[in-house]
């Protein structure tokens, strides 16, 4: 086999206890899994299709290191001809067990999508670890799933009437047939499978009532006459009239975004992040279930609540996706490292071939694709001082940090709305808990301005404080007061800003300039001349000033708070310009330095010089 020729790069696994007629080929990437080894904290498992001529599913296990993914094992698998119960789970368990034993991997978090076979396999191998069921929107069902896969049900005649259940056009006796089924009592007690804990590797069964009666009633739909060959339109499955009569949605479109946002908050809640309920896992679950149940009850959505409870909120399912059940918060929030891996395989390599042979696919994975991961991992584990490609998340992290630095915050009179704690790096604002990088403008503006090298070395932690670097230092009271009145920024000393003559720093700065190209400022971009644009701004401010003077008689504190909050940036600019003018007209005073941090916003403002000689 071709893989045997690459024995210095891969370890071929011999999968044990495979079900009959299950075809599987698995190998490990020894140059990646070996150096990482027992230091792996998070792994992800996923599969893709249409990669080879034998139609085998391509599985991969990727390890997280520095918030980036590295493939440690691959498996080509098919269970199409096997008839054993749990065939795919057994095959995936055998593969995962080989990875576990060969490289001594003991991850704290394992990330998968909503595939029950993968979940069961990971639970069977890593019994005491946290399995995270992920989706592209942060672990909750996306719009397409709620809209297409779970909101359409058959119209049941005789169903209870409700706000979303219109009355039936015909009586129950005319539209249904009643079938009475009587079951004799069992001669022996029926054994029901009890709930399983996480240690046996199996998913808990659904929580359903136990039927012990001797009979029950089924309501059968009457037979519907199909259209004849002469009238094909009457049997069209896409006919809107037929669809409206036989199908209905149990999740209206108006509620979908609200439900998804609510589930996002439930997923992100954690005892280390204050703001919702008591900092306990049980209290968070109780709060989430109560909030979702109340919403469904108040809006008359019983079927939606049944779906959410059975698939997301009941015991055994809540533990799969909520991050509050573990004391640590994982670095990875979704399985996008695997999706990006599949995109790279198919778009960069397999687009040259149409369903290649399995040996060609293995050669691409081992000899072509793996080289880039070898280089990246060597640079992360053994830095040599030379330029190397940075992980893509660092550029996105820097852009998010810079944007939070520039955002306006409330003035001191309104600063008690949230309780940011920069030492623990937590905040009660809604933006923090759902942030990809666990940051918000309140925390970013509480610390001193960071040097460019900060974005190259900062480390993400799984417990508080979530970001760790020596440059993260709190501002003192004087600096905070200066920021509120004159602008943003910290102590820009030479020690904080080392020489930026570095290729890595420049590579991060290149993308930051690209985002500013689309920003439209003022009226000059609308075709106005400078004088026309400035006159329009002056007229706007003059008219608004007259309106402000008119508001004084009403003494409305709500308007004052809104004015201070929304106009904080403009007030800082005016204060900086007037302070510059005051210094310019002051005799014997020290002139304001050109690169003073407080003069950044007023740099291009020309002060009016008073004529004191004529006085």
Cβ atoms 321, 139 nearer than 8 A = yes
Q: What is the pLDDT of residue 222?
A: 52
What span, in angstroms and rounded, lies between the C-alpha atoms of 371 and 378? 11
End position of a domain, from candidates 321, 353, 381 = 381
Residue 124 structural domain: 2-134+332-381
Could you say which of 319, 351, 381 is where a domain stops? Answer: 381
CA dihedral 84, 85, 88, 94 (to 10 degrees): -80
- Quick: pLDDT tens for 318-356: 999 999 999 999 999 888 999 999 999 999 999 888 889
With a cut of 60, say whether residue 236 has pLDDT above it: no
The pairing of strands 109-112 and 42-48 is parallel
Q: What does the pLDDT average to over 464-482?
A: 79
| Residue 427 and residue 505 in one domain | yes
- How distant, in Å, are the alpha carbons of 25, 52, 346, 358 from that of 2? 12, 15, 21, 10
Confidence of residue 383 (pLDDT cuts 50, 70, 90): confident
Residue 429 lies in a domain: yes
> Using CA atoms, how far apart are residues 127 and 602, in angstroms rounded to an integer?
61
User: What's the pLDDT at 593?
Assistant: 67
Residue 103 in any domain: the answer is: yes
Tokens of 519: 């920003």
For 197, counting Cβ atoms within 10 Å of its Cβ (0-12 exposed, 13-18 middle, 19+ buried), the class is exposed
Checking if the pLDDT of 109 tops 90, the result is yes
pLDDT of 526: 59
The yes-or-no verdict on residue 309 having pLDDT over 60 is: yes
Is the pLDDT at 230 greater than 50, yes or no?
no
Mean pLDDT of 176-205: 46
The CATH number of whichever domain residue 22 belongs to comes to 3.30.420
The pLDDT of residue 281? 92
pLDDT of residue 202: 47
Instruction: Specify if 365 maps to a domain.
Output: yes
In a domain, 196, yes or no: no
Show the tokens assigned to 130: 């946290």
Least confident of 111-120, 444-453, 592-601: 592-601
425: its two tokens: 């790096």
Element (H, E) at 255: helix 253-268
- 412 and 482 in a single domain? The answer is yes
> Would you give the DSSP letter of residue 363?
H
- pLDDT tens digits for range 545-576: 999 999 999 888 889 988 988 888 898 899 88
DSSP tag of 553: G
pTM for this structure? 0.65
Residue identified by tokens 């996002």 is: 264
Among the residue ranges 27-41, 82-96, 362-376, 463-477, the one predicted with the least confidence is 463-477
Q: Report the percentage of the chain scoring pLDDT > 90.
A: 46
Same domain, residue pair 483 and 585 = no
Range of 150-154, 187-191, 379-383, 397-401 with top mean pLDDT: 397-401
Is 117 in the same domain as 14? yes
Mean pLDDT of 285-303: 94
Asked if residue 223 has pLDDT above 70, the reply is no
Domain boundary residue among 518, 536, 553?
518
- How many domains, the chain? 3
Q: With respect to residue 576, please indicate whether it lies within any of the assigned structural domains.
A: yes
Give the pLDDT confidence score for residue 276 in this predicted structure.
Answer: 73
- Whether 11 and 123 map to the same domain: the answer is yes
Q: Is the predicted pLDDT of residue 151 greater than 60, yes or no? A: no
Structure tokens that stand for 405 in this block: 């630095």
- Per the CB < 8 A criterion, the answer to whether 465 and 423 are in contact is yes
The pLDDT score that the predictor gives to residue 162 is 44
> How much is the pLDDT for 591?
64
pLDDT at position 506: 53
- Whole-angstrom Cα distance, residue 115 to residue 477? 52
541 φ, ψ (degrees, to nearest 5):
-65, -40
- Cα–Cα distance for residue pair 615/612, rounded to 1 Å: 5
Average pLDDT over residues 530-538: 89
Do 610 and 492 lie in one domain? The reply is no
Let me know whether 12 and 126 are in one domain: yes
The pLDDT assigned to 170 comes to: 36
Same domain, 435 and 503: yes
Positive or negative, the CA dihedral 361, 366, 371, 374 is positive
Residue 108 has pLDDT above 50, yes or no: yes
Determine, yes or no, domain membership for 460: yes
Q: Answer yes or no: are the C-beta atoms of 5 and 87 closer than 8 Å.
A: no
Tell me the two tokens of residue 98. 């080989």
Residue 135 pLDDT > 70, yes or no? Answer: no
Same domain, 397 and 356: no
Residue-averaged pLDDT of the chain: 77
Cβ-Cβ contacts under 8 Å for 489 (sequence gap 6 or more):
449, 483, 597, 600
Does 610 reside within a domain? yes
Write out the H or E segment, with its range, that includes residue 29. Answer: strand 23-29
- Identify whether 234 is part of a domain: no
Indicate if 50 and 117 belong to the same structural domain.
Answer: yes
Residue 373 predicted with pLDDT over 80: yes
Model confidence band, residue 396 (pLDDT cutoffs 50, 70, 90): very high
Regarding whether 468 and 434 lie in a shared domain, the answer is yes
Q: What count of other Cβ atoms lies within 10 Å of the Cβ of residue 587?
A: 5
- What is the DSSP annotation of 180-226? EEE-PPPSSPPP-PPPP-GGGS-PPPP-------SEEEEEEPPP-PP
Angle in degrees, CA 481, 486, 489, rounded to 5: 75
Task: Answer yes or no: do 408 and 353 share one domain.
Answer: no
**In whole angstroms, what is the distance from residue 370 CA to residue 6 CA?**
12
Please choose, from the candidates 367, 347, 364, 344, the residue with its C-alpha nearest in 3D space to the C-alpha of residue 356: 364
- pLDDT, tens digit, 9 for 90 and up, residues 12-60: 999 998 999 999 999 999 999 999 988 899 999 999 999 999 999 999 9
The total of other beta-carbon atoms located within 10 Å of residue 22's CB is 19
pLDDT at 271 over 60: yes
Query: Which residue's structure tokens are 């306990």?
Result: 280
Poorest-pLDDT segment among 27-31, 35-39, 307-311, 490-494? 490-494
């Amino acid at each position: 086999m071709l893989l045997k020729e690459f024995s210095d790069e891969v370890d071929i696994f011999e999968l044990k206890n495979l079900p009959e007629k299950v075809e599987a080929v698995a190998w490990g990437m020894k140059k990646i899994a070996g150096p990482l080894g027992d230091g792996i904290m998070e792994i992800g498992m996923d599969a893709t299709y249409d990669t080879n001529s034998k139609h085998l599913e391509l599985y991969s296990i990727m390890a997280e290191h520095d918030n980036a993914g590295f493939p440690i094992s691959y498996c080509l698998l098919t269970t199409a001809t096997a008839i054993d119960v749990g065939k795919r789970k057994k095959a995936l368990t055998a593969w995962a067990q080989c990875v576990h034993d060969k490289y001594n991997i003991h991850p704290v978090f394992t990330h998968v999508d909503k595939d029950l076979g993968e979940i069961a396999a990971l639970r069977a191998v890593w019994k005491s670890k946290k399995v995270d069921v992920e989706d592209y929107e942060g672990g909750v069902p996306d719009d397409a799933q709620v809209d297409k896969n779970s909101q359409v049900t058959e119209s049941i005649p005789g169903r209870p009437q409700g706000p979303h259940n219109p009355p039936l056009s015909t009586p129950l006796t005319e539209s249904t047939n009643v079938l009475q089924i009587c079951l004799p009592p069992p001669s022996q007690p029926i054994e029901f499978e009890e709930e399983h804990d996480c240690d046996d590797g199996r998913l808990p069964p659904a929580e359903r009532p136990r039927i012990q009666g001797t009979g029950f009633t089924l309501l059968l739909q009457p037979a519907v006459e199909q259209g004849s060959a002469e009238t094909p339109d009457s049997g069209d499955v896409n006919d809107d009239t037929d669809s409206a009569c036989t199908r209905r949605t149990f999740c209206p479109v108006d509620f979908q975004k609200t439900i998804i946002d609510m589930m996002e908050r439930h997923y992100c809640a954690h005892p280390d992040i204050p703001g919702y309920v008591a900092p306990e896992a049980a209290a968070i679950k109780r709060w989430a279930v109560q909030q979702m149940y109340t919403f469904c009850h108040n809006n008359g959505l019983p079927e939606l609540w049944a779906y959410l409870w059975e698939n997301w909120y009941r015991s055994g399912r809540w533990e799969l996706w909520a991050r509050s059940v573990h004391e640590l918060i994982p670095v990875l929030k979704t399985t996008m490292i695997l999706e990006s891996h599949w995109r790279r395989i198919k778009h960069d390599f397999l687009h040259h071939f149409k369903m290649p042979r399995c040996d060609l696919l293995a050669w691409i994975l081992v000899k072509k694709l793996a080289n880039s991961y070898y280089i990246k991992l060597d640079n992360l584990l053994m830095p040599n001082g030379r330029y190397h490609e940075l992980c893509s998340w660092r550029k996105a992290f820097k852009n998010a940090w810079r944007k939070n630095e520039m955002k306006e915050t409330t003035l001191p009179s309104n600063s008690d709305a949230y309780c940011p704690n920069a030492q623990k790096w937590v905040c009660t604002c809604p933006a923090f808990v759902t942030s990809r990088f666990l940051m918000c403008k309140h925390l970013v503006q509480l610390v001193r301005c960071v040097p460019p090298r900060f974005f190259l070395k900062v480390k993400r932690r799984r417990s508080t404080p979530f970001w760790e670097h020596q440059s993260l230092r709190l501002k003192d009271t004087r600096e905070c007061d200066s920021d509120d009145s004159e602008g943003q920024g910290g102590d820009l000393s030479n020690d904080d800003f080392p020489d930026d003559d570095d290729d890595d720093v420049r590579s991060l700065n290149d993308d930051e300039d690209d985002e500013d190209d689309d920003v439209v400022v003022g009226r000059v971009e609308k075709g106005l001349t400078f004088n026309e644009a400035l006159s329009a701004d002056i007229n706007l401010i003059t008219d608004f000033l007259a309106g402000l003077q008119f508001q004084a008689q009403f003494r409305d504190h709500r308007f004052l708070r809104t004015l201070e909050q929304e106009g904080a940036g403009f007030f800082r600019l005016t204060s900086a310009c007037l302070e510059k003018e005051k210094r310019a007209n002051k005799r014997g005073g020290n002139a304001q330095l050109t690169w003073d941090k407080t003069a950044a916003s007023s740099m291009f403002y020309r002060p009016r010089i008073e004529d004191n000689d004529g006085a």
